[in-house]
Amino acid sequence: MFRSLYPNESMKSAAEIPYDKLAEQSVRGLIFDIDNTLVPHGAPADEKSIALFGYIHSLGLRTCLLSNNQKDRVLPFAEAVESDYLCNAHKPSRKGYLKACEIIGTDPAETVFIGDQLFTDIWGANMAGIRSILVSPIHPKEEIQIVLKRKLEWIVLLAYRHGGYKRVPPIFRP
């Protein structure tokens, strides 16, 4: 189980991901978490997010926002960044990730998921066979249930480190 929690890659932020390189690697679609991945929890799309999605789309990549939030949170964000979306995704269930691939017309092998949480974002992507990139949370202020999950994430990442895995994401190295 721990192996399926481990991201394929990690970056400090979604803005630092080399999307041009992903496009060169035959990636056709990107699936994003919203809260604390693209903007602070509950914040609307900002200029940085709008510009990022404009750039991504200029590379010919399709995008989908995948969120456990309701439509009233996700739709305005999706409209602002001109992206497809799936709300009430029930992450980490594989179904939402596979449905997102279907929405953007890609298969899991040519899709990358970007998110900030191991137990929902990364685990679900990995279970669906989608390459995963873990990013650092944008803002430290989070709901209590997420704060508790973050503490468990540290334990999992430390278990990797002590279990001989050398690829502990640099953003989580103590």
Residue with tokens 């989580």: 172
Dihedral sign from CA coordinates of 12, 16, 18, 20: positive
Tens of pLDDT, residue by residue over 48-70, are: 999 999 999 999 999 999 999 99
Band the pLDDT of 173: cuts 50, 70, 90.
Answer: very low
* CB distance 10 to 168 below 8 Å: no
User: Residue 142: its pLDDT value, please?
Assistant: 52
Q: Which residues contact 49 (CB under 8 A, 6 or more apart)?
A: 38, 39, 77, 80, 81
Q: Of residues 151 and 26, which shows the higher confidence score?
A: 26
User: Residue 152: its pLDDT value, please?
Assistant: 60
Q: How many CA atoms lie within 13 A of 153 on its CB side?
A: 25
The yes-or-no verdict on residue 72 having pLDDT over 60 is: yes
Question: 122 to each of 4, 44, 116, 131, how far by Cα in Å?
Answer: 8, 23, 8, 9
Tens of pLDDT, residue by residue over 122-161, are: 999 999 999 999 898 886 565 555 555 555 666 566 665 5
Q: What percent of the chain is predicted at pLDDT more than 90?
A: 66
Q: What is the maximum alpha-carbon separation in the chain?
A: 44
* Averaged pLDDT of the chain: 86
| Rounded Cα gap, residues 133 and 6, in angstroms | 10
Question: What's this model's pTM, rounded to 2 decimal places?
Answer: 0.83
List the CATH code of the domain at 2-139.
3.40.50.1000
User: Residue 171: its pLDDT value, please?
Assistant: 46
